[in-house]
Chains A and B, each alone.
Chain A
Amino acid sequence: MTTTNSSAATASKNPLHIPSPFRADEPDMTPEQKEQQYVHDVYQVIAPHFSATRYKPWPVVEEFLKDMPAGFVGADIGCGNGKYIGVNPKLFVVGSDRSSNLIDICGERGHEAMVCDGLALPYRPEFFDFAISIAVIHHFISPERRVAAIEEMLRVVRVGGRILIFVWALEQTGKRDFDKNVQDVFVPWAMPKKAEPRRDRTRNTAQEGRRRDRVNATSRSGEASLSGSMDQLSIQDGQPSTLSTSNISAPVSMQPALSMSSSSPSSSASAAALAAAEPVSVSASSSLTNADALLTTQESRAENMGQTTAAPVFNRYYHLFHKGELEELVTRTKRAKIVQTGYDRDNWWCIVEKTSHK
């Protein structure tokens, strides 16, 4: 049912928009380490660009929020840039996300939001009238952790309260072309070469003078290098990063954005190059975890696009849900009923109602 193995060679032939089977570089990694590396670290880095592409509310979510009685209090778990928080101004919605960079964007927009983990919500039990989880629990690495995420939402919602959950569908037929036999996948996120996220432009300007460490990195194959677009990126993170990495050990000491310049091809592997080069400039307590997985220069660029340099590509872990799978997870909690289900925009969704306290 689930395939998690594939040779690197096979994966490397995928064009930019095609996911590859998920494969952890270190098989012994804990689920937490995998999610840190293949989800949290990625969103932290792609946050500005990700946010710039996330502005239009999905109709099902919008309707769910607009149908809520005035004055209801809701939690948006995994709120990203907060695009749903203000959809219905008659509600009070608190957003939360693992990515402090995405939560910073919520803060700038005046939304109520905090940094926290979906498996350990900091809220009093049964506080909320409703919750939403939009495109979030497909990032948890095991069925147990997906159920735990649903249970944690049920904990903070009152009896009778509803939760709207969206997850990516295995059966989708949009622009992604998924192998219907592979549920656990890497989905690439390509940074545009000219990404100019609003907030980071400001930040980088202020830090321009201090940015002097340039890291030359090349792809695994050594055929192409990272483009200068990484200059736009900033890893700025106050959250604990617990993953010690085998590939990247450079001390993390400087505030400036992670910056990598275009360079002539070299033969070294990407992560090794990063580790061996000048100190990688990543701020504070966050370490750049295993850049080998975090950042793969995708094969499609140079060869397929006829360009000499390429946008950096980040692989995010996804579990693709087959029809009925989300409902099955909800049923396992034994304290919720399914009110409505559907398929929309490449996602399975369902509305869950909490039926009992425990």
Chain B
Amino acid sequence: MRLITHNMLQCHVKGCNANNFPLELQEVVLEQEEAELNEDFLRNMLGKLEYEALVATCLKLDINDLPATLPADAAYNDEFLQILHRVILETHIKSGKMICPNCQHIYNVRDGIPNMLLAEHEV
């Protein structure tokens, strides 16, 4: 899974409605994989990203490239878009755990695939 996907995920255990984002990453194995840069996509993402959560998550993964705050000219800042592209689209989580900061539910990532299924009583 790409880091962008981590930024759209929240815990969805029944009743877990607050402080359920972002899922905390643990024991993560990362992999870089080149992808074609899509500026339209990146600009669209600027309005959707939880940027603060993205930066915090990256810092825990020792990815220090992103500025702490979203640049005012982000949409047309080529250098920034390039970094954002590399971070959210080319950085893959191959394996690891995603833990809900609220209810501590653990979601596993294996072979790059998150398993977000819940047990019946959690839905």
Please give, as numbers and ranges, the residues of chain A lying within 8 Å of B2 by CB-CB distance.
Answer: 112
Please give, as numbers and ranges, the residues of chain B lying within 8 Å of A113 by CB-CB distance.
Answer: 113
A115 and B113: CB pair below 8 A? yes
| Complex alpha-carbon distance, A94 and B44, angstroms | 15
Please give, as numbers and ranges, the residues of chain B lying within 8 Å of A238 by CB-CB distance.
Answer: 108, 110, 115
Chain A interface size, under 10 / 10 to 19 / 20 to 34 / 35 or more:
35 or more
Residue from B10, B14, B113 with most neighbouring chain A CB atoms (10 Å): B113
Please give, as numbers and ranges, the residues of chain B lying within 8 Å of A114 by CB-CB distance.
Answer: 1, 5, 113-116
Given A73-B44, A104-B111, are A94 and B117 neighbors across the interface (CB < 8 Å)?
no
Given A122-B9, A124-B21, are A115 and B4 neighbors across the interface (CB < 8 Å)?
no
Given A114-B1, A115-B113, are A71 and B40 neighbors across the interface (CB < 8 Å)?
yes
Report A84-106 residues with CB < 8 Å from chain B CB.
89-92, 94, 96, 98, 100, 103-104
B113 and A104: CB pair below 8 A? yes
Report A119-143 residues with CB < 8 Å from chain B CB.
119-124, 127, 129
Residue interface mask B21-35, A partner, CB < 8 A = 1: 100000000000000
Task: Tell me, yes or no, whether A242 is within 8 Å of chain B by CB.
Answer: yes
Task: Tell me, yes or no, whether B38 is within 8 Å of chain A by CB.
Answer: yes
- Tally of contacts, chain A with chain B, CB under 8 A: 93
Question: Distance (Å) between the CB of A291 and the closest chain B CB?
Answer: 21
Given A71-B41, A123-B8, A129-B44, are A112 and B120 neighbors across the interface (CB < 8 Å)?
no
Task: Tell me, yes or no, whether B123 is within 8 Å of chain A by CB.
Answer: yes
Task: Tell me, yes or no, whether A117 is within 8 Å of chain B by CB.
Answer: yes
Report A269-292 residues with CB < 8 Å from chain B CB.
none
| Complex alpha-carbon distance, A122 and B12, angstroms | 5
| Complex alpha-carbon distance, A92 and B4, angstroms | 10
Please give, as numbers and ranges, the residues of chain B lying within 8 Å of A112 by CB-CB distance.
Answer: 1-2, 5
* Interface positions of B (Cβ within 8 A of A): 1-2, 4-5, 8-12, 14, 21, 36, 38-45, 48, 50, 107-108, 110-120, 123
Apart from A71-B39, A107-B113, list 20 A-B contacts with CB within 8 A.
A70-B40, A71-B40, A71-B43, A73-B45, A90-B38, A91-B41, A96-B116, A100-B113, A104-B113, A112-B1, A112-B5, A119-B123, A120-B14, A120-B123, A121-B12, A122-B9, A122-B10, A123-B8, A124-B9, A124-B50
Question: What are 12 residue pairs bridging A and B, where the CB atoms are less than 8 Å apart in the complex?
Answer: A73-B41, A91-B41, A100-B115, A103-B113, A107-B113, A116-B115, A116-B117, A117-B123, A122-B116, A124-B9, A124-B50, A239-B117
Q: Which 8 A-B pairs have the closest CB atoms?
A: A71-B40, A116-B116, A70-B40, A71-B41, A122-B116, A71-B44, A114-B114, A242-B120
